[in-house]
Amino acid sequence: MMRLPKFEYRVPRTIAEAVKIVGDVGPTAQFVAGGTDLYPNMKRRQQTPRTVISVMRVPELNQITGDGKSGVRIGASVTLTDIVEHPLINRDYPVIAYAARTISTPILRNMGTIGGNLLLDTRCNYYDQNYEWRKGINFCLKKDGDVCWVAPGSSKCWAVQSSDLVPVMVAIGAKFRLASTLGERMIDAAGFYNDDGIDYLKKRPDELLVDIHLPPTNGWRASYQKLRRRGAFDFPVLGVAAYIKFENGRANGERTVRDAKIVLGGIAPSPIQIAEASAALIGHAFDDEYIQAAAEAAYVKARPLDNTDFVMNWRKQMARQYTLRALRALAVSD
Amino acid sequence: MTIELPCVVNRESIVLNVHPMARLLDVLREQLHLTGTKEGCGEGECGACSVFINGKIVNSCLVPVAQVEGAEIKTIEGIATDNQLHAVQQAFIDCGGAQCGICTPGMVLAAVDLLERNPNPTDAEIRTGLAGNLCRCTGYIKIFESVVRACQER
Amino acid sequence: MSASPNHPIGKSVPRKEGRKKVTGQALYVDDISFAEMIYGVTVRSSVPRGRITNISFAGDTPWDEFTIVTAKDIRDIGGENYVALILNDQPYLADEVVNHAEEAIVLLAHPNKYLLEEARRNVRIEYEELPAILTLEDSVDKKEIIWGEDNVFKTFLVDKGNVDEAWTNADLIVEGEYFTGAQEQLYIENNGVIAIANEHDGVTVWGSMQCPYYVHKALIKLFALPEDKVRVIQTETGGGFGGKEEYPSIIAGHAALLSLKCGKPVKIIYDRAEDMVATTKRHPSRTRHKTAVTKDGKLVAMDIEFVIDGGAYCTLSPVVLSRGTIHAAGPYFSPNVRIRSSAVATNIPPHGAFRGFGAPQGIFALERHLDKVAKAVGLTPDEFRRRNFIQQGETTATSQIIREKVDMAGLLDRAFELTGYHEKRQRFAKENEQSRVKKGIGFATFMHGAGFTGSGEVYLASVVGAEATSEGRVKILAASTEIGQGTNTIFAQIASEALGVDSDLIEVAQPDTANVPNSGPTVASRTCMVVGKLVESAVLALKQTLVGSGLLREDYSQSEFQEACRTHIEKFGPLKTFSTYQAPPNIHWNDEKYQGDAYGAYAWAVYVAEVSVDSLTYEAQVEDFVALQEVGRVINPVLATGQIEGGVAQGIGFTLFENVVWQNGRMANNQMTNYIMPTPADIPPIRVYFEENPYAYGPGGAKGIGELPMDGPAPAILNAIENATGVSFDHVPLMPEAIMENLTNVLHGITL
């Protein structure tokens, strides 16, 4: 019997129309694509927009263009199923197809979109509850309350970034295009997320995520490893994206790592880039000694909190193992 | 406030008079009396409310009806044609794929969807293909067998 | 003998209501509506224990449009504010005090579901909080007395031989302590009812339920009405597993209270989160074992202490405790057995019936413990059990002599053959040395009694009717419900076999207390064995009536049978026969001493699990599962196999996935997102085998099977995990976190 509260539903057909509506209505308006995140949250009164603007009928948001040579643009409303099944994405960006495939279930991937996943509301055991339950704890900092129950002394909300695609986008250096009535801007995925469970995006409420620009596939490779309890449904309680680019040519028969990134998702309000892991890998041969050092760095920097499924210590331990897996996956496909 | 909203439900063109923000699930069940589509969780987690919209299987508990303007919707009631059960439905009867029956409509649709996209799925593909639908009675084994049987019968 | 060659018993006759279910035509309670019907919701406590100091109706809700019911309304109608069951301690609506979070306090009804949900948010309840007991341990330690004089709902003592004197005869004494957690039934159809109540007609309720007569009994008290003014009708029910055994009495009472007050039909359907937080779950348990054995591995004495957490009110805890107690010593012979058990109170929402009903908890402890004892005595787990399996003519813990043929060793042999147990045991030991993923294989051997415990069936005195129609069809009249397990189909098979007519000629009446006799609750693996036997005798009585009246010869065809029915009805009016339960001969039970024939029959089983444990991620996975059982005669192989597979899957969930997270007495993971029930992607192959050994007093030789598959998975899987890792775990659910904690030491050095 969980029903949606009353709201106004708008269906613009162009980007200009969409951003105009949100500009006119103001902060009580919110964009929606597949609705798989927003609607359950609205039912539980975690999010309470009064105007909901569907962007599913804006054709420009629904396209995949380009190729691996020049880079690919994915419209924000492209469904996760379309990404999972897209031949070009599978060929040139298998890490994106793979990460998308680990999201939720086949049915929800038919509805959920890439944009929705990249903007996914942060999650927390104290927040992702129905109204009655949250009322019983006097609510929490993220919505309607004063205290963060995860860290009661904290002035900051610790709800967790729980998207599978976010760490991958950060690792490969994707860019997002945002539009508003004031114009457009591009922003790096790496700079798009704030380490704050409430104010977790650099996107202003009046901005629409238009598309995602994947960089050309000029020799880099990337992988993603997801920790979850079940083979379907579950949000990541840890996601590790690994990115590697080698120097041209070989030294002593070995290829040297020119660039490397390890990005952890699912353990903090924002994706966590492990600079020490990059440092451990860059300039060295891609062999197990340095891979282990990188994994150790990820372990040290991973500080999950006790606000999703699984206890913290185990998730922290797994940061090492999953970083190893993610990096080794890149080694074998040499 | 209601709107007029044309769509096709189980091959029949209709015009709905609905609140745009009503859930498709409620409109199907309460207004069209298509109660074969069930509500198990209301948040897209169990798959009992599965329907096809324009050939794609979705959770109707997460669809505001305004979203289906002009769309073609198919529910469990539209799966059998002229009293002739779909091969998947027959297989569910023969193989014991239905027990309490509450997940069955969604599970049948998920199986139909799977076989339309992949007529000869492997065991692993069946498992991942049905992974959006929960069943508490069968332990899924008889459901997997039903899908295999339906492949053989088609 | 009948002329028809019809012998449906043993055949996989398709599910009787299968077509309705696969086409979406089956009508569950939420699919039904009545003219003028409005909707109800429940306002619940948010604290585990406290005094209600104020209730206010705030906000911009148009309260005058709402029907509002509180405990005062029950007083006003002269009803009893308790859910009639065993101790009658649970109120329908909390009055002055609340004893658990999510306890119902106020009921609201309104035609508009949207307004209703907003209104629920605007009810403000203030409390003076009282200290609460939130764990079994704290209750046992009496940190606070929250129920009665000692927090104890019920205790049992089973005492066979003399345990205290036996210790001196032992070569070895082995002790252990084991825990199991709560588990949510998670039927996919939430609890729901529709009620119509008024002063003239009384109360009528339609709903999703297992036991219409439980609801009937409870409503009679709540409304102070005579039996014939309360009518309860079961609608198609989307799973129960015990979760709809006692709870529907509450939601039915709530809807009926609202309906009586507003004069309209009222529907209450819980949403998923409400169903998860507010309704019953499996009792958490703690079991302590102290076992004496000889050096050649014979059991000398078993001393068992079994405690279950009943939650805030008694509900069915004494009965759950009873079954758990009796099953705690398993299918073994020991000359001395003492089982001391208790059900204690906590300020958690009441725990209740869940498939297995206490037995899975006790069997988990025992089957883990026996692996430990075997090790201590220097025997393999199977050899140790072989030396102690109960044999025909020996006595159980309650001194019940096993009269039927039993061959646990034979079952074990076959199970090992089916799984390649010995070969795998050797191979895994070798391979594990080199491998990151450790493999293991383990098993559990157990029994499960069918039907009510002890004199329960005699007290119930269940009745089943058979009614002939003028078209020559036979209608089975029973209150036993179809909840997915196949009641309709097997009743039709049993009747068809007994009468020698097509099973299509058999109809099973919708359970409706106005039309069917009380065949008892649909619980305790009793529907097939106990009620099915009554179906058989009721239709045989019908046949005898026809034969006795001279309208039917002994040797008849189907059309002659139909003709005889028609003529009989024309001549003498309606033709109905009834059959009442009679205990099989030589069944004796002493309720005082808890000794005697606890169950008419037991199913016997060996379950084998093969697992893998990743030594880097500490994740345990079941790779293969074999369930072999002797359940008498199998009436319908497809349905029976489906029951076992489903139970095993639930058991795997109980063991490795389903962890109820409590926060201040409230379930925190109350969604399907975070209460982790297995999905299609998480289930291993489950291979089901039957050994058939017809039981003389079951219909066609059948015994009960419904609960059995819940008993074996947890111990078999943890025994396999010990085989894989060398580490013994003593609790379920067993999460990777716990495996990590215990494994890091053992596997240190090879974790990277």
Q: If chain C, 752 residues long, is cut into consecutive pieces of 10 residues, what is the mean pLDDT of each piece?
A: 67 97 98 98 97 97 98 97 97 97 98 94 97 98 98 98 95 98 98 97 98 98 98 98 98 98 98 97 98 97 98 98 98 98 98 98 98 98 98 97 96 98 98 95 97 92 97 97 97 96 96 98 94 97 96 95 97 97 91 94 97 94 98 97 98 97 96 95 97 95 96 98 96 95 61 35
Q: How far is C116 from chain B (nearest CA, A)?
A: 16
Give pLDDT, residue C6: 73
- Determine how many CB atoms are found less than 10 A away from the CB of residue C621: 15
Does the domain at residues A59-119+160-332 carry the CATH identifier 3.10.290.10? no
Strands of the A221-227 sheet, one edge to the other: A221-227, A238-246, A257-265, A272-273
> CA A195, CA A122: separation in Å to the nearest integer?
11
Domains of chain C in sequence order: 18-26+462-580 (3.30.365.10), 32-130+186-278 (3.90.1170.50), 285-453+593-746 (3.30.365.10)
Inter-CA distances, A259 with A71, A280, A295, A299, Å? 19, 11, 16, 20
The nearest CA of chain C is from the CA of A21 a distance in Å of 26
CA distance A321 to chain C (A): 7
| Residue C667, helix vs strand vs coil | strand
3-state SS of chain A? CCCCCCCEEECCCCHHHHHHHHHHHCCCEEEECCCCCHHHHHHCCCCCCCEEEECCCCHHHHCEEEECCCEEEEECCCEHHHHHHCHHHHHHCHHHHHHHHCCCCHHHHHHCEHHHHHCCCCECCCCCCCHHHHHHCCCECCEECCCCCCCCCCCCCCCECCCCHHHHHHHHCCEEEEEECCEEEEEEHHHCECCCCCCCECCCCCCEEEEEEECCCCCCEEEEEEECCCCCCCCCCEEEEEEEEECCCCECCECEEEEEEEEEECCCCCCEECHHHHHHHCCCECCHHHHHHHHHHHHHHCCCCCCCCCCHHHHHHHHHHHHHHHHHHHHHCC
Query: Beta-strand (E) ranges in C324-435?
Result: 336-345
Q: Which residues contact C602 (CB under 8 A, 6 or more apart)?
A: C331, C402, C404, C406, C447, C448, C449, C450, C703
Look at strands C666-667 and C662-663 and give their pairing: antiparallel
Residues of A in contact with C657 (CB under 8 A): 229-230
C-contacting chains (≥3 CB pairs under 8 Å):
A, B
Interface test with A, best of C120, C616, C655 (most A CBs within 10 A): C616
A127 touches chain C (CB under 8 A): no
Min Cα distance A79 → chain B (Å) is: 11
Question: Which pLDDT belongs to residue C5?
Answer: 55
The token pair at A163 is 């998207």
The shortest C-alpha distance from B33 to chain C (Å) reads: 8
Domains of chain B: 3-78 (3.10.20.30), 87-153 (1.10.150.120)
* Residues whose CB is less than 8 angstroms from the CB of residue A168 and which lie 6 or more positions away in sequence, other chains included: A95, A96, A99, A222, A224, A241, A263
Contact B41 C21 (CB under 8 A): no
Q: Name the residue ranges covered by the structural domains of chain A.
A: 59-119+160-332
Q: Do the beta carbons of residue C578 and residue C593 sit within 8 Å?
A: no
Chain B: residue whose CA lies nearest to C185: B136
The CA distance from C415 to C669, in Å, is 37
Token pair 């068809």: residue:
C496
Smallest Cβ–Cβ distance between A3 and the set C113, C657, C678 belongs to: C113
What number of other Cβ atoms are within 10 A of residue A277's Cβ?
29
Residue A25 has, within 13 A of its CA and on its CB side, a CA count of 23
pLDDT value of position B107: 98
Q: Which two tokens stand for residue C519?
A: 């065949």
* Residue B95 reports pLDDT greater than 80: yes
User: Do residues C649 and B140 lie in contact, with contact meaning Cβ atoms separated by under 8 Å?
Assistant: yes
Q: What pLDDT does A332 receive?
A: 58
Contact criterion met (CB < 8 Å) for A9 and B58: no
The whole-number pLDDT of residue C574 equals 96
Q: Which residues of A touch B26 (CB under 8 A)?
A: 3
Tokens of C160: 């066979």
Q: How far apart are CA C221 and CA C81, in angstroms?
A: 8
Q: What pLDDT, on a 0 to 100 scale, did the predictor assign at position C749?
A: 40
Give the separation between CA B42 and CA B40, rounded to whole angstroms: 6
pLDDT of residue A273: 98
B-chain residue closest to C25, CA distance: B36
Q: Which positions in chain B have a beta carbon within 8 angstroms of at least one beta carbon in chain A?
A: 20-23, 26, 39, 42-45, 47, 50, 56-59, 61-64, 66-67, 69, 110, 113, 127-129, 131-133
Residues of chain A with pLDDT under 70: 1-2, 332-334
- Which ranges of C482-553 would DSSP assign to H, the alpha helix? 487-499, 532-548
CA A245 to chain centre: 22
Q: Report the gap between the CA of B81 and the closest CA in chain A (Å).
A: 24
Q: How many CB pairs under 8 A join A and C?
A: 92
User: Between β-strands B72-74 and B50-53, what pairing exists: parallel, antiparallel or unpaired?
Assistant: antiparallel
What are the tokens at B29?
């069940």
Give dist(CA C276, CA A217) in Å, integer: 48
Among A45, A105, A311, whose Cβ lies nearest the Cβ of C737?
A: A311
Residues 6+ apart with CB under 8 A from A316: A299, A302, A303, A304
Contact list in A for residue C666 (CB cut-off 8 A) is 133, 136
Residue C426: CB atoms within 10 A of its CB come to 10
Task: Sort out which chain B residues have CB atoms less than 8 A from C23's CB and list them.
Answer: 36, 76-77, 79-80, 85, 89
Asked if the Cβ–Cβ distance from A9 to B66 is below 8 Å, we say: yes
Identity of residue A26: G
- Measured distance CA(C693)–CA(A293) in Å, rounded: 62
Reduce the DSSP state of residue C304 to 3 states and report it: strand
Residue A292: list chain C partners with CB under 8 A.
752
Nearest residue on chain B to A104, alpha-carbon basis: B132
